[in-house]
Amino acid sequence: MTNDLLIKHISRNLTFSKTEQEEFCKYFFLESIEKKAFLLQQGQVCKFEGFVVEGCFRIFTIDKKGNENTLYFAAKDWWLMDIDSFMNHKPSDLNIQALENSKVLIISQKDKSTLYDSLPVAEKFFRIMFQKSIVAWQRRLIRNHSLTAKERYSHFIENYPEIASKLTDRQTSSYLGITHEFLSKIKKKSQAQ
């Protein structure tokens, strides 16, 4: 079952009964996305939430100067959406693009509200997920303020080696908040040592 991964993921955080597991999973359907295809493009309203089963995605914005800014990467076991757009029914600033052929368990916005109503423990589950997510955002902000580009790069490849290995330097640099030219220079320097 493709839902096995989702159930395992839930169980890492909370104990669901068999019935609860089934109720939770029944709203999700599996979708395959080809490399380079977009699950969401800026301007669209995000009407789904996704859980990555296979592959990898990049979530990024494009600013006024045309620079891409990567918010995060989502590999297997990660959730995927534009929360702002999803919550407030407004056009998204984000692009969600597959970095390779991928599979995602999708739940529609409508079904998500139904799920919350029918299964109170789903509220608890997502409340915990969101809490964890905040911790990650806070830590990333502190790293951005207190570490140099080189230190952030090292941190990234050490902590997310599987993701890092799938990326082009341009994608990595847009996550770190530096230019790709400078990343190239950082890499050269660390080789030299």
* 128 contacts: CB under 8 Å, gap ≥ 6: 13, 14
Residues that bind its own copies (CB under 8 A): 61, 63, 65, 67, 69, 71, 83-84, 87, 116, 120, 123-124, 126-128, 130-135, 137-138, 140-142, 144-146, 177
Distance CA 48, CA 85 (A): 10
Question: Which entry of its own copies, DNA, none binds 126, CB below 5 to 8 A by partner kind?
Answer: its own copies
Is 168 a residue that touches DNA (CB under 7 A)? yes
Distance CA 78, CA 46 (A): 17
Is 143 a residue that touches DNA (CB under 7 A)? no
**DSSP assignments along 17-33, one per residue:** -HHHHHHHHTT-EEEEE
Is 34 a residue that touches DNA (CB under 7 A)? no
Residue type at position 21: Q
CB-wise, 155 or 187, nearer to DNA? Answer: 187
Kindly list the residues in this chain that would bind DNA in the complex (CB under 7 A). 148-150, 168-170, 177-185, 187-188
